[in-house]
Amino acid sequence: MDIRSSSRIKSLLHTTAIRLSLKYSLIYIFIFGIIFLFLYWFINSFVQAQIKASLTQESKKIESIYHVKGIGAIKEYITTHRQYSGEDHRFYLLIDKNGKPQAGDLKKWPSEIKTNGSITNVWIPKKEIVDAIKDGDGYWPVITINFKNGYKMLIAQGIRGTEDLRETMFAIMALIFGIIVVLIIALGFSLGKNVLWHIENINKAYNAIMNGNLSIRIKTSSKNDEFDMIANQINEMLDKIEQLVTEAKQATNNIAHDLRKPLNRLRNRLEISIIDKNRHDCNKILEKTVADIDDIIKTFNAILEIAQAESAAAKKAWNNVNISGITSEVAGLYRPLAEDKSIELNVNIADKITIEGNERLITQSIGNILDNAIKYTPKNGTIDVCLKENEKSIEVLVSDSGPGVNEKDYSRITKRFVRLDSSRHTPGNGLGLSLVEAAAKLHNADLVFADNRPGLSVRLIFKKPSI
């Protein structure tokens, strides 16, 4: 193992992910260990119980023979049932009242046996076994029988085969436990490395973003697990941040571009006034200068209004708004402008409709939509203003018969300072619909554009709160 691999393993062991994985792996190993120990104890206890039951049954059988046929039948039974082949022998020993062996497999009566009829484990060395078998010694379960004439008998159950079975079972269980331990530890490391992979991806993305690369995104796997869900949410947030930064840069460029011309005009007029102090049209120059300054102030006011609409501060002025009255009032204010261009302004407004919102922003939004409609509708055109209500929403609809907007430009016309080529010759700063969109988002409303054939249809849809 090289130094780099050793260093990587050390760094892995110091991470929270790996330590948690190992911690839970050890807990599972402990649980499985307890289960295997219990299983081993249960099987061993079952075998011991079966041996004791067999010895008890054998002792009762011999006692019944004694009561029916006497001690001679016992000797004959022992002679008949002596076993010398195989393991797990059952050994017998019958002694008289003087302790002399009368029949059986054992040479003498073990000194540590208690003759109370209970089953006890007694060490039986193979040298005490007649015709001793291989590996015959061990602690064997023994039961004793006391007969009335002073005779005593013991029955011992050889357990070499049982012990071999127990050792084999223990070896198999140990092997299975070892495999489980290895698998659990491997799984723990695998889970830990999976967590670290996601963390490293986040770390790489963070470092790249901190170095100015806002296009970088966190890599995701094909598993679609909780880490991928978090990564996707972070990526969506990064997309939004990149969009906002790009829009801010674009807005800055547009502000610089739009203000450069009026500022240059201001400078040129003031420079001319300084050079030629006796010009007869100084008042006109000053009027044009004030007009340019007003346009600049309007631009900055519009930017501030959009910023306020996008912030939560605008909700402080939240109240019940009579949108029917607002729409009628705005339509009345713009009617003279429509009449100056011989535009037919049709108004269809439902009565007594109210919503919760910011009255100033709603008024400005409807005014900006109607102002755009009048601005781009040609002479003798038509504009329809409609306010209607249904079970789910309240809708302000303004439709005109102007040149309209290409569908692919619908998403652009709400961007700040964006003005389509067809509208470059008209006055304005490209912030009107930006304010409408900001106000719509603040009110959780939808701003929808559609082809009016001819012209453009703009719908401002306020959703009613669900009950």
What is the pLDDT, as a whole number, of residue 279?
A: 62
pLDDT tens digits for range 198-208: 778 888 888 88
Buried b (16+ CB within 10 A) or exposed e, 328-356: bebbeebbeebeeeebebeeebeeebebe
Question: What tokens were used for 222?
Answer: 């094909």
What φ, ψ does residue 65 adopt, rounded to 5°?
Answer: -65, -40
Interhelix angle 432-442/359-376, rounded to 10 degrees, is 140
Task: Yes or no: say if 415 and 247 are a contact pair by the CB < 8 Å rule.
Answer: yes
Helix 359-376 and helix 282-310, axial crossing angle in degrees, nearest 10: 130
Residues of the chain with pLDDT under 70: 1-18, 82-89, 114-117, 131-138, 254-255, 257-258, 276-282, 306, 308-316, 417-430, 466-467
| Whether the Cβ atoms of residue 400 and residue 458 lie closer than 8 Å to each other | no
Q: At a CB cut-off of 8 Å and minimum separation 6, what does 374 contact?
A: 334, 337, 338, 341, 343, 383, 400
DSSP symbol at 111: T
> Residue 167: its pLDDT value, please?
80
* Residues 387 and 395: beta-carbon distance below 8 Å: yes
- The residue behind tokens 């739009």 is 258
pLDDT at 137: 63
Residue 177 CA to residue 36 CA, distance in Å, equals: 8
Quote the CA–CA distance of 432 and 305 in Å, as a whole number.
Answer: 10
In the chain, the domains with their CATH numbers are 14-196 (3.30.450), 226-303 (1.10.287), 311-463 (3.30.565.10)
Phi, psi of 415 (to 5 degrees): -75, 150
Burial class (CB within 10 angstroms; exposed 0-12, middle 13-18, buried 19+) of 433: buried
pLDDT of 82 reads 65
DSSP state of 465: P
Roughly what angle, to the nearest 10 degrees, separates helices 323-340 and 359-376?
Answer: 30
Phi, psi values for residue 456, rounded to 5°: -125, 140
Helix (H, G, I), strand (E, B) or coil at 278: coil
Cα Rg of the chain (Å, integer): 50
CA angle (189, 193, 198) in 5-degree steps: 155
Using CA atoms, how far apart are residues 185 and 189, in angstroms rounded to an integer?
A: 6
| 116 vs 332: CA distance, rounded Å | 118
- Give the integer Cα–Cα distance in Å for 445 and 393: 9
Six-digit token pair at 303? 């930017």
Alpha-carbon span 202 to 204, nearest angstrom: 6
Alpha-carbon torsion angle 246, 247, 251, 252, nearest 10:
-30
How far is Cα of residue 281 from the mean position of the Cα atoms in its chain? 72
